């Protein structure tokens, strides 16, 4: 049975049981602000689990696209994925444990449906704790259906409660999970959940509680929320140990292997296939996502860049992400038409991101290799890669791990704080030197202030000098010497100059110069600024010919990362000092 046939069969079974087929919701949860992506089928249905009437009734069935990145380091083994599909059936105050468990068993084992051997199945149920009692009812139902007691395991909240561990507020409850033996013909008599040859394929959650603070309160209705992993179940039905050996991944992997070195590392191939499938679905989602340095866009960017790096590791030097996205779009558009509808956006985002990161990674990797050859990599080294080359911290950590080294995240943070403190010492105000934190969006704003400073001098004259800045991830504030309010025409010209230099995607680089050299090169800034000095040298950042300014960094690698610049306010700060507030990014 193919994955597409599995989707259709699942829907058909539950429609026959009185369920209404509802479409997959967006990857961006509308009713759960605690997560960036829809990590389970429940997110779009939270209001209805809480008692609100669903327009399609009390029995629902769907296949839902989901994303989880918590296990990203496990991607490439036989079962872990970042993007995956969940087949789910729902009862909103209708049936409960009895029908849910019996129908799951029927669908899995009946010859009319999947026809799996009951002797290859095992289950786990909630063991009980101070908050809720042991789920003996579910265990009894499984035994009546033919699951031996030795194949039933009682586990705590971390394993048999959803959301896992019961740490989050909102609707939740105990669950029972169904496992299939993938280890060959010798099926153990007893069920050991720690043996990864037992693969979880279905999870039935009995949502009967609402967590408010530390207290579990009964919901107004008892609900059923089930999730069957499409990829894992398809692998079981096709006799495959790995989800990557199903038709869901084979066409993507074949395209990768066409471009890779012969005998390319299997794990890298799988990581690329997973990450590019995930990124394609994210970019095609109707939420209109794009790679960025914050929130969902940051996750997309991380997946794309991680795929590109693994591509380099197996010999793929040229651009390849668009080719893989086109395979995903072709293979999945029947089930998810938004892929073909938003293809142009997907392709455009991938082309831009791959071009940008290819330049970053080339410079950063070269410097990383120099460092690792000479030193045990430190948090200071990681900060240098980040501040000078725009090299992401998590990529440095991953590369170091491959070399058997660790990067001290705390030292990295301390280095950044040192720069903040030096900045404050240099200009004597709360966010002097500009940066409020190490958020990538803040760093974009920091570089934008250099372009703004230069543009103001071009439009207003050389009398303009920086008198302070305050930069956060949300906006930048720049104070400068000028006696008069800016006219609308002056503001428009300044904004246009900054955006023109952003569009040119000019590399941002620094040099360590003496004060005399810096002055001769035309650098502007406070020549006695402590944060810019190292010994008898000062750090001067060059943005092509657009800006030459003394600064301690960090900055973007090239101006294109800023995307755009918009003045939102121009006002008086004090006598002879004007203030501009602006935003950067999309």
Listed in sequence order, the residues at least 6 apart from 346 whose beta carbon sits closer than 8 Å to its beta carbon are 280, 283, 284, 325, 329, 339
CA nearest neighbour of 357 among 284, 302, 438, 275: 302
When pLDDT is averaged across residues 49-65 and rounded to a whole number, the result is 89
437-463 pLDDT, tens digit per residue, is 557 888 899 999 999 999 999 999 999
Enumerate the domain spans of the chain: 3-241, 250-361, 422-584
Q: Give the DSSP letter string of 256-280.
A: HHHHSPTT--HHHHHHHHHHHHHHH
- First vs last Cα of the chain: how many Å apart? 44
Tell me, which fold does domain 422-584 have in CATH? 3.30.980
State the pLDDT at residue 109: 97
Each residue of 220-230: b (16+ CB within 10 Å) or e? Answer: ebbbbbbbbbb
Q: What's the confidence (pLDDT) of residue 176?
A: 97
Between the alpha carbon of residue 473 and those of residues 104, 293, 582, the distances in Å are 48, 10, 11
Residue 149's pLDDT is 95
Q: What is the per-residue pLDDT across 200-249, written as a single tens digit (0 to 9) for each?
A: 999 999 999 988 888 899 998 999 999 999 999 999 999 998 999 999 99
In eight-state DSSP terms, residue 505 is T
User: What's the pLDDT at 32?
Assistant: 59
Q: What pLDDT is stored for residue 70 in this prediction?
A: 80
Q: Structure pTM?
A: 0.65
Say which CATH topology domain 3-241 has. BirA Bifunctional Protein; domain 2 (3.30.930)
- Under the banding of pLDDT at 50, 70 and 90, the label for residue 559 is very high
């Amino acid at each position: 049975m193919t994955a597409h046939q599995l989707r259709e069969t699942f829907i058909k079974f539950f429609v026959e049981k009185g369920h209404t087929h509802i479409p997959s919701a967006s990857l961006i949860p509308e009713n759960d602000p605690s997560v960036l992506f829809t990590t389970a089928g429940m997110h779009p249905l939270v209001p209805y689990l809480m008692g609100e009437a669903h327009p399609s009734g009390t029995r629902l069935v769907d296949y839902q696209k989901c994303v989880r990145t918590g296990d990203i380091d496990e991607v490439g083994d036989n079962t872990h994925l970042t993007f995956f599909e969940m087949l789910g059936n729902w009862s909103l105050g209708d049936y409960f444990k009895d029908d849910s468990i019996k129908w799951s068993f029927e669908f899995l084992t009946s010859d009319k449906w999947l026809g799996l051997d009951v002797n290859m199945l095992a289950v786990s149920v909630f063991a009980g704790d101070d908050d809720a009692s042991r789920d003996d009812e579910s265990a009894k139902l499984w035994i009546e259906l033919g699951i031996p007691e030795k194949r039933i395991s009682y586990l705590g909240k971390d394993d048999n409660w959803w959301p896992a561990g019961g740490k989050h507020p909102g609707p939740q409850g105990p669950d029972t999970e169904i496992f299939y033996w993938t280890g060959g013909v010798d099926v153990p008599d007893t069920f050991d959940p720690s043996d990864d040859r037992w693969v979880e394929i279905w999870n039935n959650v009995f949502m009967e509680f609402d967590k408010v603070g530390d207290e579990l309160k009964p919901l107004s209705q008892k609900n059923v929320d089930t999730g069957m992993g499409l990829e894992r179940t398809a692998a079981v039905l096709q006799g495959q140990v790995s989800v990557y050996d199903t038709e869901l991944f084979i066409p993507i992997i074949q395209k990768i292997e066409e471009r890779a070195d012969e005998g390319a590392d299997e794990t890298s191939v799988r990581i690329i296939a997973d990450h590019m499938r995930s990124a394609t679905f994210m970019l095609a989602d109707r939420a209109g996502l794009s790679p960025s340095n914050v929130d969902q866009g940051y996750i997309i960017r991380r997946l794309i860049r991680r795929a590109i790096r693994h591509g380099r590791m197996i010999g793929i030097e040229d651009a390849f992400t668009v080719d893989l996205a086109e395979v995903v779009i072709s293979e999945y558009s029947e089930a998810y038409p938004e892929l073909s509808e938003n293809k142009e956006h997907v392709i455009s985002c991938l082309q831009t991101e791959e071009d940008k990161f290819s330049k970053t990674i080339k410079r950063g990797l070269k410097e990383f290799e120099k460092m690792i050859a000479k030193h045990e990599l430190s948090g200071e080294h990681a900060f240098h890669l980040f501040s000078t080359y725009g090299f992401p911290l998590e990529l440095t950590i991953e590369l170091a791990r491959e070399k058997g080294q660790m990067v001290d995240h705390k030292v990295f943070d301390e280095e950044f704080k040192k720069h903040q403190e030096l900045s404050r010492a240099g200009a004597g105000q709360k966010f002097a030197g500009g940066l409020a934190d190490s958020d990538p969006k803040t760093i974009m704003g920091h570089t934008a202030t250099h372009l703004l400073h230069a543009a103001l001098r071009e439009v207003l004259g050389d009398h303009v000098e920086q008198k302070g800045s305050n930069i956060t991830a949300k906006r930048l504030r720049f104070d400068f010497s000028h006696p008069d309010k800016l006219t609308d025409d002056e503001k428009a010209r300044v904004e246009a100059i900054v955006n023109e230099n952003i569009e040119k995607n000019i590399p941002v680089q620094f040099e360590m110069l003496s004060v005399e050299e810096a002055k001769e090169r035309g650098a502007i800034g406070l020549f006695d600024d402590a944060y810019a000095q190292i010994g008898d040298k000062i750090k001067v950042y060059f943005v092509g010919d657009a800006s030459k300014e003394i600064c301690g960094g960090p900055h973007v690698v090239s101006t294109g990362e800023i995307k755009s610049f918009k003045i939102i306010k121009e006002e008086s700060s004090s006598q002879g000092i004007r203030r501009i507030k602006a935003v950067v990014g999309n």
